[in-house]
Chains A and B, each alone.
Chain A
Amino acid sequence: MNGKVLITGPTSGIGRAVAHRLAAAGHNLILAGRDREETERIVTDLRVRYDATISSKHYEALAFESHREFLDSCCAGGELNGLVMCHGYMVEQTLTENDFRAAATTIDVNYKSYVSLLNDAARYFKQRRNGFICVVSSVAGDRGRQSNYTYGSAKAALTTYTQGLRNRLAPYGVSVITVKPGFVDTGMTWGLLKPQSLLVASPERVAVDIVRAIERRKDVIYTPWFWRWVMMVIRLIPEGVFKKLKL
C-alpha cells in the first residue's frame, strides 16, 4: 500500500499492537505519542523487527489548537494513506463521579481530542479522495452502565461522530472504520479487569481484527467478534429492567 499510516496512542496496548501488525504487513508508519522516549522505543522496536520505515511525532491530544499544524507536519514528507486513532484515558468510574477533573479529562481525551484531529483529517482525506480513518471506540459506548458510564458516554459520542463522518466521506472513497473492542488486557485496564477471564482478549488478537477491518474497508467492527452479540443482548434489555441490574 502506498503512503504512510499515522497512529495516535502508539504506547497504548492496542496502539502498539496495531503498529506491529501494520509494520509487519509492510506499511510505513508515523507514531504520534505524548511520551517522546517511550514512543521512540517503540519506533526502534519496529525498525529492528520489521523492514519498514517508521518515524515518530510528538502529539499532545489535549493541545487542540496544535492539531492542524501537527497533521500538516505529518503529511509534509509524503502523503498519508491512513489514520488510526488509539489514544485513550480511563480511570475508575467512581473517581469521575467524585472529581469533575477526572470526568472532564475522560471526555476531553476520549472525545474532544478525536473531534479536533478528525475535523482536520477529514478535510485532508476528502481532498485526497482516498485512504482510511480507523477510530478505536468501545463497547462501553453501546449502553450506559453504572460501572463505566462516564468513559462510556465519551465513547458513545465518538461512535456517533464517526457514523456521521463515514456518511460524509463515503462519496469521496474514504473509508471510516469504527472499532468497538470489548475487554482488552492492556495497561489501561490492568487492575480493573481479571486478566485470566475468558472475556478478556489480548491486544495482539484485537489488532489482527483491526488490520483486517482496515484492509476490507469495514464500517463497524466488534472485537473479538462475540461482543457484537453480547452487546445486542445488552441493548435489547428494557430500560425498566436494565436500571435494576448490576452491570
Chain B
Amino acid sequence: MKLHWKIWVLIIALIVAALFIAPWAMFEKGVMIKSVEKNSTELSIGLKSGMIIREINIYPINNLEDYTRAVSEIFSNINQSIKITIKTTENSFILFTDEQLKITVGEIPKSKIKTGLDLSGGARALVKPQNVTLSDLEIADLVAVTGARFNVYGLKDITIKPVKDLQGINYLLIEIAGATPTDLETLVGEQGKFEGKIGNQTVFVGGKDISHVERSGQRAGIESCSAQQQTEMCRFSFPISLTEEAAKRQAEITGALTISSEDPQYLSEKLDLYIDDNLIDSLFISKDLRGQVTTQISISGSGTGETRADAIKSAEESMKKLQTILITGSLPYKLEIVKLDTISPTLGKEFTKNLIILALSVFIIISVILFIKYRRIKITATVVLTMFSEAFITLGIAALINWNLDAPSIAGIIAGMGTGVNDQIVIIDESVSNAHISLKERIKRAFFIIIGAFFTIIAAMIPLFWAGAGMLKGFALTTIISVLAGILITRPAFAEILRKIQED
C-alpha cells in the first residue's frame, strides 16, 4: 500500500520525537555520576558528572544497589592505597586511593523528558532587588554572580535565569533540582562577600573598595596570544579603580613583598580572589606595583585552548567572570526573596505516578465514548493513535527544548489532547455527512472550524507567556505545542487515514 505524504510526515515526526525523548535510556545499565568533588584525584583523572559507570574493579554496576554494594565491599577494611578501576561507557579510569570515592552518583534518567520542580522535588526562588528596577545588563550580571557563588558552594543541577513580567519588572529565577540545602534562603538572599587578599591580608572587599571596573573599551580585552607546544594561550587584562583607602592598603602590603624568583616580571605573592571565603582565582601582581599608591590597577589573566579561537573564547570567558565578581560585591541593592518554594521529592513521585494513571484513564474513557458513538474499531483506533501522537510529539519537543514539565504543563498536554479529539470528531462528522458534496470539500470545511478553534486557543494562551513572571508559561507552551502539532502534523494525517477507511 502506498502511503500518502501526510502520513509519512506523521511517521517521521513520531520517529524524531522518539529520538528526542530517548525512552530506551530506561534499559541502560549503570549509574550516572552526579558530581565530582573539587580538587579531588577523581576530577584530575578525568571523571566528570554525566558519565555512566558500568564497572568498578571486578564488580559490574547495573544500578544504584550494585554501586553501593561494590563500594562498600571494596572499601570495607582497607588500610592502604588500592587500585580502583572505574569503567564508564566510553573509557576506563584508574586511581589509587584509601578513601571513599569523592563522587556522588544517581540513577540514569529514564528518558530525556525533564519534570518540573513540583514533580521532581527541589527548590525554587524568585528574587527581586529591593526598591530598584534592574536593566537587562544588570540582571545578566546578577545571574552571573549568583551562578558563580552557587558554583563555589558546589550546588548542582541549578538553573538561574532572568524572568520578566508583564510590567517589565526583572526577576531572578533560581531553581535547584532534588534535595536542597537548608541554608538556601541565606545563600540566595545575601549578596555574597568578595575579597582580594595578598597572603592573608585583605587588600580590598568587593563593592566597598572598588569604585569602577572597566568592562569594555580600549583598555579591556585580549592583549596578546601565543602558541606553546600544542596549545594556544591568550592573555587578557582590564583596569579597575580602587578607592584611596584601598590603594594605600595595597601599597603597604605590596611594599613588603619581594620579586618572584620564578618570574621576575611579578611579585612573590599573588592576589587571591575569594567569594564567601572560597578561593576562586589567583592573579600575578606586576613588579611595578610594589609599594605604589595607585588607584588604577590592571587585572590580568589568561585562557588556553587547542586553537586560537578556543583560547580567545576561554580568555574572554575568564575575563567576564572576573569582572562580574569584582563588580558584584558592589551591587548597589539588597536582594529580596519574593517567592520561595521547596518541594519534597517524595510527594512529587506520588504525583507523577498519579498523572500517568490519569493520562491512561483519559485515553481509555475517550476510546470507549468514541467506540460507543461510531461502533467502528478502525475509527476509534485512529483517534486514539492521533491523540497519542499529539501527546508524544509534544513531549518530544519539550525534551528537545529542555523544558521542565511541571503539573500545569502536563495539564496543558491533556487539555491539548482534548481539543485534538474535538477536532477529529469534527473531521469524522464532516466526512460522513452530506454525501452529495465531495469528500475533499467536506474535509476543507472541517479544517475551517479546526483552524478557527486553533487560533482562538493560541490567542487565549499567548498572554500567559508573560503574566506572573512566566510561572505559567509551561501551561501555555505545551497547549500551544500540542495544538500546533495537531494542526500541522496529526490532523492532516488523520483526515487522510480516515479517507482511506471511508473508501474501503
* Chains A and B are bound partners: no
